Amino acid sequence: MDGDKTRICVLFDIYGELLTPSVAESIDLYYNDDLSLSEVAENAGISRQGVRDNLRRGIELLEHYEQKLGLYGKYRENEKTVNGIKAEIDRPDVPEDLRERLVSLIDKLSF
């Protein structure tokens, strides 16, 4: 379940601006602020069922955007590549000046 929650949070970070304000607010409060359905409903001024519908609709849209655009998948691939580079940098036979330059370049990447 934590993996699903993390995935939804990352998808929301990537695609959240594409959602309607009501759906985005429900997802943000429920997943990022960790509020209950009742608390989200109270904050948003809608019913618990409305929150549940917003969450379902929002998650479907986030997954649809990911299926079409694949930005989260690319992010995960890049993350694996960077971790592989970091592992290579940590090898004892890598000269210190090269290590420092590579670490500097990795730090410039924005994830």
pLDDT tens per residue, range 4-33? 999 999 999 999 999 999 999 999 999 999
Q: Where are the beta strands (DSSP E) in 7-83?
A: none
96 pLDDT more than 90: yes
- The dihedral through the CA atoms of 105, 3, 36, 62 has a sign that is positive
pLDDT tens per residue, range 35-60? 999 999 999 999 999 999 999 999 99
Residue 16 near residue 35 (C-beta atoms within 8 A) = no
1 pLDDT more than 50: no
CA–CA separation, 72 and 79 (whole Å): 10
For tokens 């971790």, name the residue. Answer: 83
Residue 108 near residue 43 (C-beta atoms within 8 A) = no
